[in-house]
Amino acid sequence: MNWCFQAIKNYAKFSGRACRREYWAFAVMDAMVMLGSVVVANQAGIYSNPWFYVPFGIYVLFMIPPALSVTFRRLHDVNVTGAYVLWLLIPVVGFILVSIQLFTQGDRGVNDYGVPPNEL
């Protein structure tokens, strides 16, 4: 569970590296919170209520910096610049290219972005 909140604690840290576990724990936790809130709101009948979108929108806005930060650091772990996320602007191809990098095992030793996250 600690891995889920590691990205939130380091929301402003765009340098360094993040292991696959840190990235995917955050990504899965974030997706579960968003999907869970939509399902609960739908079952409660308030999904179409505009007041549902206010807290949901605030949550989404607050999660953008940690998501970008952990994505940049995850890309650094595979020795790729964080600007690689701009590939996501290309609809299908960009998603595939970035996803491959996010699933790839990080460099074992020191790379251009520092020491492996396990050795800190």
- Determine the Cα–Cα distance for residues 80 and 111; give it in Å rounded to an integer: 10
Greatest Cα pair distance, the chain, in angstroms, is: 52
Q: What is the pLDDT of residue 17?
A: 94
**pLDDT value for 5:** 85
pTM of the predicted model as reported, rounded to 2 decimal places = 0.89
Across the chain, where does the E strand assignment appear? Answer: none
pLDDT tens across the length of the chain (120 residues): 687 788 899 999 999 999 999 999 999 999 999 999 999 999 988 878 888 889 999 999 999 999 999 999 999 999 999 999 999 999 999 999 999 999 999 999 999 999 988 755
**8 Å CB contact between 105 and 23:** no
Annotated domain spans of the chain: 2-119
Angle at alpha carbon of residue 100, lines to 5 and 106, rounded to 5°: 60
Quick one: pLDDT at residue 119?
A: 56
